[in-house]
Amino acid sequence: DTGVSQNPRHKITKRGQNVTFRCDPISEHNRLYWYRQTLGQGPEFLTYFQNEAQLEKSRLLSDRFSAERPKGSFSTLEIQRTEQGDSAMYLCASSLEDIEQFFGPGTRLTVL
């Protein structure tokens, strides 16, 4: 399978704990995006990388959130001191240049 993969698919954590998600993009894609999707809503843009450089961050990305893309390959999204409001589906997408984004299956986070 050469699509975008995300791990884990599901994560249940207690409030206050830290969590980290991983996204592996399609191998030749230089752009990588993170989105958050809450129930009944469309995905909301969080951040975007071109190769290893993080070029844009949404105001939704509080200081508890951090994303990295070392060496321009896979990316990680970490949430520190999780809150119940962080419960959502976290989606990763990759693209070659700026047109079509290919989405992964997402990581569903539940904060108890």
Partner 1 sequence: AQSVTQLGSHVSVSEGALVLLRCNYSSSVPPYLFWYVQYPNQGLQLLLKYTTGATLVKGINGFEAEFKKSETSFHLTKPSAHMSDAAEYFCAVSEPGGADGLTFGKGTHLIIQP
Binding site for partner 1 (CB under 8 A): 4, 31, 33, 35, 40-46, 48, 55-56, 58, 91, 93, 95, 97-106
User: Which CB atom, from 17 or from 24, has the smaller least distance to partner 1?
Assistant: 24
The residue among 15, 3, 32, 14 whose CA lies nearest residue 90 is 32
Q: How far is CA 100 from the centre of its chain?
A: 17
**Minimum CB distance to partner 1, residue 74 (Å):** 17
The residue among 1, 15, 3 whose CA lies nearest residue 100 is 3
**Minimum CB distance to partner 1, residue 60 (Å):** 11
User: Which CB atom, from 88 or from 93, has the smaller least distance to partner 1?
Assistant: 93
User: Which CB atom, from 18 or from 110, has the smaller least distance to partner 1?
Assistant: 110
Residue with tokens 């321009």: 72
User: Which CB atom, from 38 or from 73, has the smaller least distance to partner 1?
Assistant: 38
**Minimum CB distance to partner 1, residue 21 (Å):** 14
Residues 6+ apart with CB under 8 A from 69: 32, 49, 51, 52, 54, 75, 76
